[in-house]
């Protein structure tokens, strides 16, 4: 097997991976960097983020405001030391992107403009129209091209980490063009592999978001933290699940039920605010968990709009006018016309909540280090706990920058003290990974198919881990996932060739998703309270005595994962009431 020698290997070349690579190239210029991704960097899902990125910059804002918005928004499950670090680094990172050419929207005087976002007390979201993630990703990718130390391995599918002597020392990956397995020897590895939204049938995520990074770390012994916290974005297109950014509401769009009534006022987010003049932190600018839960409530009460795609509510943006729509939300307009045939300038858009983001992920400390020495993680695949039980919109685009950068610094300093590994042990492991792959190729076709198992998985995820959950539902889904993981052992390939074999890659992705899915469902089943995005019909209240804790899921082979708990770091904000009513303001 061909072996590539590097110092730091980065898995994933989206926002977090690229930020880490650039930080290493600039701040540890003598290190060799291998940037490994199953897609070309600009295909990564960072490109699909629309609304913007939060960072304190305006004179009326303060770090304290950003801190409290984030911690309260996360229903106090955030680690407050991580949040503190995050909010202070946020403006620096966004400013750095400005210097790297990100086309942020501007005020008349040429300074960076900000827009309001859900759950935020002060406007602090930097934005590039409604393509903020796209511009961030391309600015990072293009900036990275000037550094010869960054060696890219585009379309390499990472399969497993190499762990020996209790530390991570590299990985194996399939070069998709040849189908050959390659081994990367690295002093440190950073996982920046993105989310796992494809576990769910109705989601905003790209095909790439299959939790590969999470699953790899999990199988190598690093625990997955707070996996039960799944963000449903309130405004997805009802047929395709395509995201319509929260900026639709921040710019003045309103949500209506079938009676054209702004129902959010019935769910603790009133009183009604003037149409087209959104008020921060209330009504349509409530946090995502609460708004999605309110839409679910309308569906239960029979006040939803019946459509061919199921129950929806209306997103009305007609009053914004064509000029504002084209200046602030041009992409949203294009998408609505393309996929629904409806122009939001003239028509109301039916929407429904859609699985969007994983608050949970690979447990890291505030330095982006996982519990496995030599392994670091950043971005959606990681859980450094700034998002808690519910992420605020526009914090994740900053998280990839802040913690991508932090992971790079940690990996560089770790790499400096690493002794050479046991070559023979690493070779044995790499060869075992290759044998497993060969075995998958050799297996003759049975009755299990990738598409079939995937369908059963996504169905049971929706049933068990929707917006509202029950013990019975989650128990049933746990059982189902356990069964699917066993049946997965019999999966076989139709395609036995080497070049760009997507039948093989889909099978590996399915395995990764099943691992993440079981960690998610088991963590959820054990959390007998309602907090943020984890809402239980049978345990309606938050229980800070028992569950002001992070769930930690440990891989346990084909058996159910072991769940443990870890204290939440509380520094200056004691758990309180999340108040999104506008009355007192």
Partner 1 sequence: MTENRMGARQVELEVLRYNPETDQEPKFQRYSVPCINEWCVLDALNYLKDNLDPTLAYRWSCHMQVCGSCGMMINGEPKLACKAMLRDYPGTIRIEPLAHFPIERDLVSVADDFIAKLKRVKPYIISDGKHTIEQGEYKQTPAQLKRYRQFAMCINCMLCYAACPEYGLQPKFIGPAAISLAHRYNLDSRDVGRDERQEEIATNEGVWECTFVGACSDVCPKHVDPAAALQQVKVASTVDWYLEHFMSWVKK
CA dist., res. 336 & res. 349, Å (int)? 8
Q: Does 206 bind partner 1 (CB under 8 A)?
A: yes
Q: Does 409 bind partner 1 (CB under 8 A)?
A: no
CA dist., res. 449 & res. 478, Å (int)? 20
| Nearest-approach distance from CB 502 to partner 1, in angstroms | 5
Q: Does 503 bind partner 1 (CB under 8 A)?
A: yes
497-500: long-range pairs with CB below 8 Å, 24+:
497/179, 498/178, 498/179, 498/180, 499/177, 499/178, 499/179, 500/176, 500/177, 500/179
Annotation marks residue 436 as catalytic: no
Output the DSSP codes for 332-349: HHHHHHHHH---TTTS-E
| Nearest-approach distance from CB 37 to partner 1, in angstroms | 12
Question: x/- site string to partner 1, residues 464 to 493, per CB under 8 A?
Answer: -----------------------------x
| Nearest-approach distance from CB 479 to partner 1, in angstroms | 25
Give the DSSP H/E element, type plus range, for residue 310. Answer: strand 310-316
| 281 within 8 A of 121, measured Cβ to Cβ | yes
Q: Does 142 bind partner 1 (CB under 8 A)?
A: yes
Alpha-carbon dihedral of residues 236, 239, 240, 242, nearest 10 degrees? -20
Percent of the chain as helix, strand, coil, to the nearest 5: 40, 20, 40
User: Residue 90 phi/psi, 5° resolution?
Assistant: -50, -55
Q: Which member of 501, 522, 523, 530 binds partner 1 (CB under 8 A)?
A: 501
Q: Near partner 1 by CB under 8 A, which window of 24-32, 97-105, 115-123, 456-464?
A: 97-105
Q: Considering 43, 135, 249, 531, which one is annotated as catalytic? A: 249
Residues facing 565 on adjacent strands: 551
Nearest alpha carbon to residue 242 among 309, 297, 287, 301? 309
| Nearest-approach distance from CB 48 to partner 1, in angstroms | 5
Q: Does 145 bind partner 1 (CB under 8 A)?
A: yes
Question: x/- site string to partner 1, residues 98 to 127, per CB under 8 A?
Answer: xxxx-xxxx-xxxxx---------------
Alpha-carbon dihedral of residues 60, 66, 72, 74, nearest 10 degrees? 150
Q: Is 166 left (phi over 0), alpha (psi -120 to 50) or beta?
A: left
> Closer to partner 1 at the Cβ: 447 or 584?
447
Q: Does 207 bind partner 1 (CB under 8 A)?
A: yes
Q: Which member of 5, 338, 435, 571 binds partner 1 (CB under 8 A)?
A: 338
Angle between helices 15-27 and 132-144 (to 10 degrees): 30
Q: Does 26 bind partner 1 (CB under 8 A)?
A: no
Contacts of 11 (CB under 8 A, 6+ apart): 17, 36, 37, 158, 171, 189, 190, 191, 192, 193, 212, 213, 216
> Closer to partner 1 at the Cβ: 372 or 493?
493
Hey, what are 515's tokens? 């691992």
581 by Cβ neighbours in 10 Å (0-12 / 13-18 / 19+) ranks as: middle
Q: Does 48 bind partner 1 (CB under 8 A)?
A: yes
User: Residue 567 phi/psi, 5° resolution?
Assistant: -65, 145
Q: Does 494 bind partner 1 (CB under 8 A)?
A: yes
Q: Does 260 bind partner 1 (CB under 8 A)?
A: no
| 251 within 8 A of 276, measured Cβ to Cβ | no
Q: Near partner 1 by CB under 8 A, which window of 65-73, 331-339, 395-403, 429-437?
A: 331-339
Q: Does 513 bind partner 1 (CB under 8 A)?
A: no
Q: Does 134 bind partner 1 (CB under 8 A)?
A: yes
Q: Does 208 bind partner 1 (CB under 8 A)?
A: yes
| 227 within 8 A of 195, measured Cβ to Cβ | no
Q: Near partner 1 by CB under 8 A, which window of 219-227, 435-443, 462-470, 499-507?
A: 499-507
In degrees, rounded to 5, the angle at the alpha carbon of residue 139 between the alpha carbons of residues 138 and 145 is 90
Q: Does 90 bind partner 1 (CB under 8 A)?
A: no
**Collapsing DSSP states into helix, strand and coil, what is residue 41?**
helix
> Closer to partner 1 at the Cβ: 176 or 474?
176
- Segment 216 to 255, residues that bind partner 1, using CB under 8 A: 239-240, 242-243
> Closer to partner 1 at the Cβ: 56 or 563?
56
Q: Does 341 bind partner 1 (CB under 8 A)?
A: yes
Output the DSSP codes for 215-283: HHHHHTTPPEESTT-EEEEEEE-TTT--B--THHHHTT-EEE-TTS--GGGGGTT-SPPPTT---TTSG
> Closer to partner 1 at the Cβ: 451 or 577?
451
Q: Does 499 bind partner 1 (CB under 8 A)?
A: yes
Q: Which member of 135, 233, 531, 542 binds partner 1 (CB under 8 A)?
A: 135
Annotation marks residue 68 as catalytic: no
Q: Which member of 95, 122, 279, 409 binds partner 1 (CB under 8 A)?
A: 95
Q: Does 500 bind partner 1 (CB under 8 A)?
A: yes
**Collapsing DSSP states into helix, strand and coil, what is residue 387?**
coil
CA dist., res. 485 & res. 481, Å (int)? 6
> Closer to partner 1 at the Cβ: 169 or 458?
458
Q: Does 63 bind partner 1 (CB under 8 A)?
A: no
Which amino acids are annotated catalytic? 233, 249
Residues forming the site for partner 1 (CB under 8 A): 39-40, 42-45, 47-48, 92, 95-96, 98-101, 103-106, 108-112, 131, 134-135, 138, 142-143, 145-146, 154, 177, 206-208, 239-240, 242-243, 307-308, 331, 334-335, 338-339, 341-342, 449-451, 493-495, 497-503, 506
């Amino acid at each position: 097997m061909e072996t590539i020698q590097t110092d730091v290997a980065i898995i994933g070349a989206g926002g977090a991976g690229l930020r880490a690579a650039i930080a290493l190239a600039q701040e540890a210029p003598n290190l060799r960097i291998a940037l490994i991704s199953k897609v070309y960097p600009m295909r990564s899902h960072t490109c699909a983020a629309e609304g913007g990125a939060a960072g304190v910059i305006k004179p009326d804002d303060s770090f304290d405001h950003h801190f409290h918005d984030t911690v309260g928004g996360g229903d106090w499950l955030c680690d407050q030391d991580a949040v503190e670090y995050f909010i202070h680094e946020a403006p620096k990172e966004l400013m750095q992107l400005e210097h790297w050419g990100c086309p942020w929207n501007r005020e008349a005087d040429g300074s960076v403009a900000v827009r309001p976002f859900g759950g935020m007390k002060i406007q602090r979201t930097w934005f590039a129209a409604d393509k903020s993630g796209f511009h961030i990703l391309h600015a990072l990718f293009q900036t990275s091209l000037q550094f010869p130390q960054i060696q890219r391995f585009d379309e390499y599918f990472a399969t497993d980490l190499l762990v020996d002597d209790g530390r991570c020392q590299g990985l194996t990956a399939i070069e998709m063009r040849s189908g050959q397995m390659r081994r990367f020897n690295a002093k440190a590895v950073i996982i920046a592999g993105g989310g796992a939204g494809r576990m769910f049938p109705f989601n905003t995520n790209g095909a790439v978001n299959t939790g590969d990074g999470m699953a790899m770390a999990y199988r190598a012994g690093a625990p997955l933290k707070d996996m039960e916290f799944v963000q449903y974005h309130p405004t997805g297109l009802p047929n395709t699940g395509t995201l319509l950014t929260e900026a639709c509401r921040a710019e003045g769009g309103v949500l209506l039920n079938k009676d054209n009534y702004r129902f959010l006022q019935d769910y603790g987010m009133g009183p009604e605010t003037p149409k087209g003049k959104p008020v921060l932190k209330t009504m349509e600018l409530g946090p995502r968990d609460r708004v999605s839960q309110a839409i679910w409530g309308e569906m239960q009460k029979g006040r939803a709009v019946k459509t061919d795609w199921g129950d929806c509510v209306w997103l009305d943006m007609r009053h914004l006018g064509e000029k504002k729509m084209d200046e602030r939300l041009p992409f949203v307009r294009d998408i609505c016309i393309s996929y629904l045939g409806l122009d939001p300038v003239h028509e109301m858009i039916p929407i429904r909540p859609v699985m969007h983001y994983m608050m949970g992920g690979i447990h890291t400390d505030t330095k982006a280090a996982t519990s496995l020495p030599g392994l670091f993680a950043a971005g959606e695949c990681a859980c450094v706990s700034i998002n808690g039980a519910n992420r605020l919109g526009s914090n994740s685009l900053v998280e990839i920058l802040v913690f991508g950068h932090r992971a790079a610094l940690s990996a560089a300093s770790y790499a400096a003290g690493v002794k050479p590994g046991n070559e023979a042990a690493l070779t044995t492991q790499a060869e075992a990974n290759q044998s497993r792959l060969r075995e998958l190729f050799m297996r003759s076709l049975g009755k299990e198919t990738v598409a079939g198992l995937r369908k059963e998985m996504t169905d049971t995820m929706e049933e068990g881990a929707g917006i509202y959950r029950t013990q019975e539902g989650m128990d049933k889904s746990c059982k189902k996932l356990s069964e699917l993981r066993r049946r997965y052992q019999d999966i076989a390939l139709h395609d036995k060739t080497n070049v760009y074999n997507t039948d093989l890659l889909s099978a590996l992705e399915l395995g990764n998703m099943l691992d993440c899915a079981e960690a998610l469902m088991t963590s959820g089943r054990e959390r007998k309270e309602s907090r943020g995005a984890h809402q239980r019909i049978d345990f309606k209240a938050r229980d800070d005595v028992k569950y002001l804790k992070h769930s930690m899921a440990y891989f346990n082979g084909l058996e159910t994962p072991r769940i443990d708990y870890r204290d939440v770091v509380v520094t200056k904000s004691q758990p309180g009431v999340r108040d999104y009513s506008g009355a007192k303001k």
